[in-house]
Structure formats: C-alpha cells, structure tokens
Chains A and B, each alone.
Chain A
Amino acid sequence: MSETAAIERAIDRSQMQVSDEVAIEITNMNKWYGQFHVLRDIDLTVNRGERIVICGPSGSGKSTLIRCINALEEHQKGKIVVDGTHLSSDIKNIDKVRSEVGMVFQHFNLFPHLTILENCTLAPIWVRKTPKREAEQVAMHYLKKVKIPEQANKYPGQLSGGQQQRVAIARSLCMKPRIMLFDEPTSALDPEMIKEVLDTMIELAEEGMTMLVVTHEMGFAQAVANRVIFMDQGQIVEQNEPKEFFNNPKSDRTKLFLSQILGH
C-alpha cells in the first residue's frame, strides 16, 4: 500500500467548481450491526461539485458510510438527504435516490450474463424507460469516453480488471447521475490497470462531477480532491483540504495512519 500511483498529467481545473447548492446532507447519523456500533454521529455536508476522498484504516466504516448514502445499508438514527430526497424506509424514495446516484464497487459487480453494451443499457431502458436505440447511443458515447467502445459486444468475463472497472463507471454514467460514489475502485487491480481507472476518474472530476471516493490512492487525493476525510472507529476524525491534510495533520491517529500508508 506504500506505493500509490503518481498522477503525472496536468489537471484541468476550469470546470471544477464547488457550488453553494447542497448535494448530500448527513446529520447525526448512526448505524449499528446488531450490537456493534459501526458509525457514530456522522455529520457531513457535500456541496455540488465537491470531490471528496475518504480514507482510514480497515474496518473504520468507510464502505458502510458511502453505502448508506444510496441506501444499500440502512441507518438506524439520524438523517440523510440526497439531492433533496429524504432517505426514509419508503421504497419509492430509495429507488429514486439510487437512480440519481451512481456507485462503483471494488469488485466491479458487472452482470456476467449480459454483454458490455447490455450492462450499460439495462438500467436506462428499465428504470428511465429510454427507448433501446437511444440508450445504446448513450452507452456507446460513455464507452468511448472510458476508451473501450470496441469491447461493446463482449462479455465482462472476456475483459481485464481495469477494463471491467471502466465499464462499471460507464454503466453508472449511463444513468446520468448527479453524484458518483466509489468504494475502493482500484484496490482489486494490478498497478498498470490502476492508472487507467484513475485517469477515467480524473476526467470525470474535470467535468465537475460530485464525487465521494473511498480510496488509499493518495496521489489521486492530492491531485483531484478538494477535501480529504479521515475516518477511524466509525467516526470522522479529521477533514481538511488535501495540502493541509497531508502536510499538517492534526490528530495523532491521522498522523499514524499517514505514516503507515505513505511508508515513512
């Protein structure tokens, strides 16, 4: 984990603007697994256009936090408002939020029985009721964007890990989400594939997408994020802009974590 991919290219920051509009608002949120208190008093406001990197030791609740945002996990206390929609147990609300929020997983979670193109058109056709022809055009547009249009008619099993993860990103983008969540998108990949996925994510950030990224790629955090959040034992311990966060960490736990992850 000590070697993180260096980001060499110049970043175009012209579109990366944080607006005043609130995209996600989490207040006093708590979650338990049985008796185990996974998330404690989480308060987090994400504005539109923010690029937030969440890091922290294993088991600190990073995945659980971002999975709560699209209701893959239920929270027991507190409030989550996504894009103005209150996440309650109402299924209609949950499906609406999920169709507005894209999610990319560590293990891609592509559908192995469908081709790449079908993977990308499925949700637009069935959830958005887009006509098939149109959905395919949109899918091809995003597959070009992630640089694998020529794989459209293959099955996920025939692609490399990096290609699969880029398909997963394209699949989410086909729903035209306003927020993207990433849960360790590169940690199941070989080093040379990590770069191609990070490049895709950087391009997305350059277009002004609101992103929450759980990752240990500190190069990515430094280059793209406008805020880095450090979590430990179910709490947000520290958050700051990347420069301050890395050069001048406040809490001891953050210092310890950074020294381990950056390898000095």
Chain B
Amino acid sequence: MSETHSFTVGYVRHEMQGPLPPPVAESGAVKWMRENLFSSWLNAILTVVSLFVIWWVLSHTLPWMLAGVWSASSLTDCRNILAERGYSSGACWAVITERWPQLIFGFYPSELYWRPILAFVLLIGAVAPVLYTSLPRKMLWFSLIYPLIAYYLLWGGSVWTPVMLAVGFSLVGMGGTLASNKSGFFFGVLIAILIFLLMFFDPLSALLNVMGGIAGLFSADSVRLSPMIGSLALRDLFPLMPTLSDLLGSIAPIGLESVTSREIGGFLLALVIGLSAIVFSMPLGILLALGRQSDLFIINKVCVTFIEVIRGIPLIVWLFTASTLLNYFLPPGTTFDLILRVIIMVTFFAAAYIAEVIRGGLAALPKGQYEGADSLGLDYWQSMRLIILPQALKISIPGIVNTFIGLFKDTVLVVFIGLLDPIGFINLIRATVEWNGIYWELYIFVGLCFFLFCFFMSRYSQYLERKLRTDHR
C-alpha cells in the first residue's frame, strides 16, 4: 500500500474540492415548477386546465363575496343597498351579523351567554392535558370533573345535583379501585357498577321497568301492564343520590338559574352532542372491541350483536327511537331529557363504529406482542392496557378521527327530531319575514364553522401520529 502511494503521490489530490452549487435553472421556484407542474406534456396540460378552473370558480364567487353587505335589517334592505352601490348581485352577510347569536347559542337567554362561553373556555383547559401529554398530569383531574361543570353551567339548576353526582362517582371510582386491587379488575368493574346502581338508580325498580317495557312491547295489554309493574317498584325504594340532592337543595337552595333543553340550540347543541358522544364512545368502543375479540362466549356474542345491530340501522332511525320509543322503557312520569337521550344514542352509534376501527388495530398487531406480554406474567387487563391497546389505538388513529369527524357532522340529523341545531336555525331564519329567500350566506357560514372544527381534528390527529411514531422503520 505504502509503495503504491509513493509512486502515485504526484497525481493524487490531497484535499477534496468543495461541492459545486447546482446550476441556476435547477434551484428555487423555477426548479420546483419544472418538477411539479411542467414535468411532461400531460402534466403541463393538466396544470393549465387546473389554473383555468380555479380562475373560473373564483371569478364567479369572489366578486359576489367581496361585494357583500355587512349591515342591513332585512333581505330587501340588503338588496337596496347593493343596488345603490351599483352591484347587480352580492352576498348579504348582514344575516349573519344580525342572527349569529341564534346560530351559535339557539334560544339560550342572552343575559346568560357567559355560561356557555365559560364552559367552552374551561373545555379548552379540560381537553388540553388529554391532547398534549407535556402538560402537568394533575390537570387531568380537572378534565375528569369537567363534564359535571359543563352540565351545571349549561343547564343550571341546583348546585347539589352535580355535587352529588361527583360524590357518587367518586364513591364508584374508589370502591371499584379498591375491589380491583384486592381481587382483580373484573371484580372491580362489577363492584363499581353495583355501587353506581345503588347510588343513582334504584336497581329493583329500574329492572322491573325495563321488564315492564319489554313485556309491554310484546303483549296486547301493553298499555295496562307496563305502568303497573313500573309503579309497583317505585313504591318503597328510592335512588339515594337524587333524593339526597333534593334534600340538600331544600336546606340550602344554592344554584344557577336553570335553562331548559328546549332553549339550547345552534352550534352549542351540535357541540354538546358531538363532544359528549366523542368522549363517551371512546371507552365504550374499546370495551366492545375487546369483547368482540374475547373467547368468553356470552360476552363475545353480546358485543357482536350490539355492534351489528347498532351499526346496521341508520342513525336517523335511532334518533327517532330516542325521541319516541325510549319513553316506553322509562318509569311513568319520569322526564328524561331529550338531549340526554340523543347523546346516549349517538354515543352508542359512534361506539359501534369505533369498536370496529379498534378491532382492526388489534388484529394488525403481531401475535408476538400478546405472547411477549403473557410470558412476563401480565394478566389480561394489564397486557391490554399497557401493551396491546396503546399500540392498537395508535394504529387506529386515522380511523378513529375519521369516525369522529363523521359523527360530528352527523349531529345535524337531530334537526329531524325537532332539535334546533344550526341547520334547524337556518330553516327558522329563512322562515322569517325579514330573511325569507336567503340561503347561500347561511349555509356557507355553517359549513365553514363545521369545516374549521373538522379540520382541527384532522390536523391534531396528524400531530398525534407523528408524535407517537417510535418504530423508526
């Protein structure tokens, strides 16, 4: 080696020459355009056609939008203003500036707008620690009690209702944790359910009511039979927590002015239904997916049936069920809030979809992950929670977010059972004398709002996927 070097040394350059800069035509915007827009004849033609289409669409819509009138009291007023300015046509954004409170809040009393606004601001605080793990973990406690705070702010009423709910749920949680530490997760869940029933229902009468309802469905004497069984049970027993909160309410009547469900509408309604369903369908969907994978015959069949039945029937049918048929199973005389019923139905519907998405994630995991967890002596729930679900959920993120986006948009279906979501209010506004005949502006506004929410969800899911990428493949 050394000899060769000494012979050839005169010809060998000892320092490397620095790399040359690329030729001018190959860098910057010109290069980008050549590579991406004009790389071939076909590509060039497509580029020109696309540019033409974009120009055509904008040339028809932009002038209409920009000429828009922002303040007017009615559609005719608006048209007059446009004519004065010399435009033949133009948007009438005034309907939004005039009516946006209704589109956002529905008939919520305007002096109480601060309550939904506060609830929304707190929502950001509650969601942040869930979405961004870099925030202190203690904030999760706030996320946990947030649903009760939101409920209290939105509906108002006696402060004791949410307080007793909180007390009841912490008892359920503590009892469940204690029992699961002592004798396994499954037992813990059982105890938790038991305490829950004892606190908030009176299990016997609830059971009898459901039985009465079912019996009623199938028997000719339905009308007589079901209230009979129902009232029979309500005699002696009563649910613990509601009674206690009534009692405290009569001793110390503290609370906010109550707002009825009828007054809640617009985007407020869409958000309440959509977010509740998203939050509650996730755990339910996970349990259903695990149940569908389970070897335990009964659990497996129950989950499969639930998923297939719920998924196989259109949401609108379920919403009608919620608004009418569900009354049938409830104790006579109880008023079970319509919004609550809708939330339950939408949650079930979303959970069935989520379950299938997560099942896909579970199936995609190699068998070795289950075996690795088993071989270390982790029990079923530990291996699910620590090993299997984190990975399966990560794989399922695009599908989950897809389902949530679909779900959020589907909340507009509640307009068909008489709830006034944004679409419902568009119909209302268009029926007034002032704004009769307007449509584009309202639909654009509502569409834009939905788009912003959905776009945020989509962006967040992409952030999450990037953050959770640890496999470095």
Contacts and interface: CB of A to CB of B under 8 A. Distances in A.
Interface string B370-389: 01111111110010001100
A91 B382 CA distance: 14
A157 B386 contact: no
Most chain B beta-carbon neighbours within 10 Å: one of A96, A108, A126, A158: A126
Q: Which of A95, A108, A110, A111 counts the most chain B CB atoms within 10 A?
A: A111
Contacts of A205: none
A157 B473 contact: yes
A99 B468 contact: no
Interface in A68-96: 70, 72, 91, 95-96
Given A105-B371, A107-B368, A113 B470 contact: yes
Nearest to B372: A109
Contact of A72 (B369, B371, B379): B371
Contacts of A70: 375
A113 B468 contact: yes
Contacts of B374: 72, 98
A99 B394 contact: no
A216 interface: no
A16 interface: no
Give the most central of B372, B390, B391: most A CB within 10 Å.
Answer: B372
A139 B391 CA distance: 23
A127 B468 CA distance: 26
B260 to A, nearest CB: 47
A218 interface: no
A122 interface: yes
A112 interface: yes
Interface residues of A, number: 29
A99 B470 contact: no
A72 B373 CA distance: 11
A101 B374 CA distance: 11
Contact of B379 (A95, A108, A110, A111): A95
Contact of B391 (A96, A101, A113): A113
A123 interface: yes
A155 interface: yes
A26 to B, nearest CB: 18
Given A105-B368, A107-B368, A126-B386, A112 B375 contact: no
Contacts of B371: 72, 105, 109
Interface string A119-146: 0001100110000000000000000000
Contact of A109 (B368, B378, B472): B368
A175 interface: yes
A126 B372 contact: no
B310 to A, nearest CB: 31
Nearest to A107: B368
B378 A157 contact: no
A71 to B, nearest CB: 8
Given A155-B470, A157-B471, A157-B472, A109 B369 contact: yes
15 contacts: A72-B374, A91-B379, A98-B375, A98-B376, A99-B376, A99-B377, A102-B375, A105-B371, A105-B375, A110-B372, A111-B391, A113-B394, A155-B471, A172-B376, A175-B376
Interface of B: 366, 368-369, 371-379, 382, 386-387, 390-391, 394, 468, 470-473
Closest 9 CB pairs of A and B: A99-B377, A109-B372, A123-B376, A157-B472, A109-B368, A103-B375, A98-B377, A157-B471, A155-B470
